[in-house]
Amino acid sequence: MVYTIREVVSFLDSIAPPAYQESYDNAQLITGDPNTKVKGILCSLDATEAVVDEAISLGCNLIVAHHPIVFKGLKSFTGKNYVERTIIKAIKNDIGIFAIHTNLDHVAHGVNKKIADKIGLKNTKILSPKKGILNKLSTFVPSAAVEQVMTALFDAGAGKIGDYSGCSFMSEGSGTFTPSEKANPTIGKRNKPEKALETKIEVMFPSFLESQIITALKNAHPYEEVAYYIHQLENENQEVGAGMVGELSTALDEKDFLAHLKSSMNLQVIKHTTLINKPIKKVAICGGAGIFLLNAAKKSRAEIFITADVKYHEFFDADNQIVICDIGHYESEIFTKELLLELLSQKFTNIALYFTKIVTNPITYL
């Protein structure tokens, strides 16, 4: 089977919905015709000129990168900086560039889960779950049609809570209505009051799915006019959010854990705060710049918080309550390219998949 860039993007969007990216982000198809047939995919942390050259040499016409090469609007394409040069080279060589950034950071099976797996953490969960991204649908269905409506809603993405699917609440009651002369009622007759046995169905769903949930409801519901209500929930979505926290199978001495961290993440250096003489059992992590999660890490009662891009004064905020480790932005997220290849290989078994051998880290150590 031959796949298009659009189909690859659609699959990745189902893994990490674009609605979960931060407002400043630019996770999307940045270059390339969505209808182009995919010859090969190169997975990378960054999309740079060297990575585009590598894609060309491998016969790949799609780069799937974690970091967007374009964050801000470009007003000219003259090659005056590395961003413009990369975009120009990609367009000239018909290379698509797709970025899957903070949306992949925010899903439970994303970037931070990959880090947790490399370190060997168990019982992982989102460190700071997002609020305000869940809705509840309430609708009223004649009893004979409950199964078909429920099936349609579940197929559209409703009713999933953590590791459970098909979640709903139902209650029985009576619905009243009077069809007009122009109506075509499923139950009852025109101009005559009707009372029908109905089931109230309530299901939760991710807010970004609202349009397809409502379409599924209306297509499956037997009534000419469908009564329903949508409520935005303040519940935390435990499957979506920033950072991750997990546990080691066996507690380690702080220095032993740092040695394990350095080995498992292939680090040259670790910057960290003063050790606090506590065994390391619970570990909080956030790939990339994650110091904004320090309070959440403390609240989780983790003994250590692993992230990157920590500023000098922010190290003081450990305040002898937790050990802060800055392992470097590139180093914390480099295994994302392996994650991307693993995800793509689940679906696209007949497309050549590679992860880049180019070291895109702009920082070197003496």
Amino acid at 140: F
Please say whether the beta carbons of 341 and 272 come within 8 A: no
**231 belongs to an annotated ligand binding site:** no
> Residue 298: which of 329, 263, 273, 262 has the closest Cα?
273
DSSP SS3 for 318: helix
The distance of Cα 314 from the centroid of its chain, to the nearest Å, equals 27
> Residue 38: which of 17, 64, 13 has the closest Cα?
64
**221 belongs to an annotated ligand binding site:** no
Cβ neighbors of 263 (< 8 A, separation 6 or more) are none
**333 belongs to an annotated ligand binding site:** yes
Dihedral sign (CA 275, 279, 282, 285): positive
Amino acid at 235: N
Please say whether the beta carbons of 269 and 365 come within 8 A: yes
Dihedral sign (CA 348, 351, 352, 355): negative
Cβ neighbors of 72 (< 8 A, separation 6 or more) are none
DSSP SS3 for 193: coil
Residue 138: how many CA atoms within 13 Å on its side-chain side?
A: 8
Tokens describing residue 248: 């080691």
**109 belongs to an annotated ligand binding site:** no
Residues at the binding site for a divalent metal cation are: 66-67, 105, 329, 333
Residues at the binding site are: 66-67, 105, 329, 333
